[in-house]
Amino acid sequence: MSAPAIDSLLLRCTPAAHATATTLAQAALALLRQDLADLRLLRVAQQPQGTAYLYFALGSPQPLSADQTVQAERRLQNAGIVGLAACELSRLQLVMHCTGPALGEATPVHYAVEMDPESGWQDELFAWYDQEHLPGLASVAGTAQAFRYLNLDHGPLSLACYDLVDAEVMGCTAWLAVRGTDWSARVRPHFTNTRRTMFDTQALP
């Protein structure tokens, strides 16, 4: 089987107390570019004093195998950098990207929802995401961008993420209306291994 074409990489890691996620991202980027010369840092998102999600984008989609990803992950883990010692590197395939009314504004909040579809529900869950949910949340005032990826390695399989002007966007009437549709009520109970995480977005170097 040929390796799938990959758009992006996600690196989950926990920066040391004295380090910033941005500094860690720069170190990781230098190591990853040994094999992926056109890789660039796309986003640095971190929970306060906690886990960071570092997103990297390839210049164009290209095949990347699971074995190649494991080798790159081990290089990061063995680099002697505290924050990378237990890192997880995953290949991401971009499924959908929507821009919102706040595109171009500062987005200090990054919200990620990860899940594995319950057996037998993948087709409907993905149709709901792509036809209703992701475009609907992207259209809410205060949303700059919304993405949905498939995580091919450490999972969960579906990663939807949103760049927001502030956390209050998620409590506004328009956002709650998108979350409260009949279709949402039908499919949401079939999320498994669900992770919902709010991050602070750090400025790119």
The per-residue DSSP string of 120-166 comes to: T-HHHHHHHIIIIIHHHHHTSTTEEEEEEEEE-SSS-SEEEEEEES-
Place of tokens 């498994």: 192
User: What's the CATH fold of domain 94-202?
Assistant: Alpha-Beta Plaits (3.30.70)
The pLDDT value given to residue 19: 86
Q: Is the N-terminal amide bond of 156 cis, ω within 30° of 0? A: yes
Of 50, 53, 46, 54, the C-alpha closest to 16 is 50
Provide the 8-state DSSP code for 101: T
What's the pLDDT score for residue 17? 84
- pLDDT, tens digit only, all 205 positions of the chain: 689 999 999 999 999 988 899 999 999 999 999 999 999 999 999 998 899 999 999 999 999 999 999 999 999 999 999 999 999 999 999 999 999 999 999 999 999 999 999 999 999 999 999 999 999 999 999 999 999 999 999 999 999 999 999 999 999 999 999 999 999 999 999 999 999 999 999 999 8
Global pTM value: 0.96
- For residues 73 and 71, give the distance between their C-alpha atoms in angstroms, rounded to a whole number: 5
Confirm if 58 and 8 have CB atoms less than 8 A apart.
Answer: yes
Domain boundaries in the chain? 5-93, 94-202
Beta-carbon neighbour count of residue 105 at 10 Å?
A: 14
Q: Among 159, 2, 148, 169, which Cα is nearest to 102's?
A: 169
Q: Which fold has domain 5-93?
A: Alpha-Beta Plaits (3.30.70)
pLDDT score of 173: 99
Domains 5-93 and 94-202 share a fold: yes
196 closest CA partner among 94, 111, 97 = 111
